[in-house]
């Protein structure tokens, strides 16, 4: 019993260290993406004739779900809750998934669900660079009209003892509405123009959302 206690204590310390490191990474990255979000809001709210395909609400013919699950089992309802929520959201829709994590890949493959790609079989090995690669891929298929709406399904971390599955729409973007008749304009100048800057920011912003969820 003493030997087992020592082993499990060491495992607990390693897990706690990994958790603290992951939380620190998200907190360190947050100011960057908050600045990107502020720029997005500023461009949308202070340009009277502004339009972007990222904001276009169109008829939904096909949906895409980015699903983040774990690489291993024996984790209570961690994996099953996310996968169950995804299937509920996809009910009655023409939809495909982009799975991240071994459990997600195996689940959707066994249920013959259409997958956009499956190179991210192990969530543990997905890097920040991978998140930006995924976001660029998502932006590309959305702009080409292959998918009319894109969601991300993940586990919302509340505390060490409390996590809940969540779904969030990432495309088309939903920006806060503001009465442009009362808008005094912005003092920020965008080069070469606000629409070009907006189009460049979106993949970066989506990569940040994906990284945070992961």
How far, in whole angstroms, is CA 125 from its chain's centroid? 16
pLDDT per position as a tens digit, 6-26: 999 999 999 888 888 877 877
**Whether the Cβ atoms of residue 68 and residue 102 lie closer than 8 Å to each other:** no
Prior bond to 196 cis, omega within 30? no
Angle (CA) 212-170-146 rounded to 5° is 130
H or E element that contains 8: helix 2-45
**Whether the Cβ atoms of residue 83 and residue 109 lie closer than 8 Å to each other:** no
pLDDT per position as a tens digit, 20-66: 887 787 777 778 777 877 777 777 777 666 678 888 888 999 999 99
- Is the entire prediction scored with pTM above 0.95? no
Angle (CA) 198-204-209 rounded to 5° is 115
Hey, how many other C-beta atoms are within 10 angstroms of the C-beta on 76? 9
């Amino acid at each position: 019993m003493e030997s087992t206690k020592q082993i499990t204590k060491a495992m607990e310390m390693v897990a706690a260290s990994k958790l603290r490191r992951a939380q620190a990474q998200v907190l360190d990255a947050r100011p960057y993406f908050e600045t990107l979000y502020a720029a997005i809001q500023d461009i949308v709210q202070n340009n009277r004739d502004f339009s972007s395909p990222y904001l276009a609400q169109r008829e939904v013919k096909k949906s895409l779900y980015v699903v983040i699950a774990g690489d291993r089992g024996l984790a209570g309802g961690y994996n099953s809750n996310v996968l169950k929520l995804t299937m509920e959201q996809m009910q009655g829709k023409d939809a495909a998934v982009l799975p991240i994590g071994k459990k997600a890949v195996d689940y959707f493959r066994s249920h013959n669900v259409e997958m956009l790609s499956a190179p991210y079989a192990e969530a543990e090995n997905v890097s920040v660079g991978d998140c930006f690669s995924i976001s660029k891929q998502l932006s590309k298929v959305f702009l080409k009209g292959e998918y009319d709406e894109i969601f991300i399904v993940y586990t919302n971390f509340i505390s060490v003892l409390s996590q809940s599955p969540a779904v969030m729409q990432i495309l088309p973007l939903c920006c806060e509405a503001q009465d442009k008749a009362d808008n005094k304009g912005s003092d920020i100048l965008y080069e070469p123009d606000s629409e070009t800057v907006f189009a460049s920011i979106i993949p970066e912003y989506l990569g940040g959302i994906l990284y945070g969820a992961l």
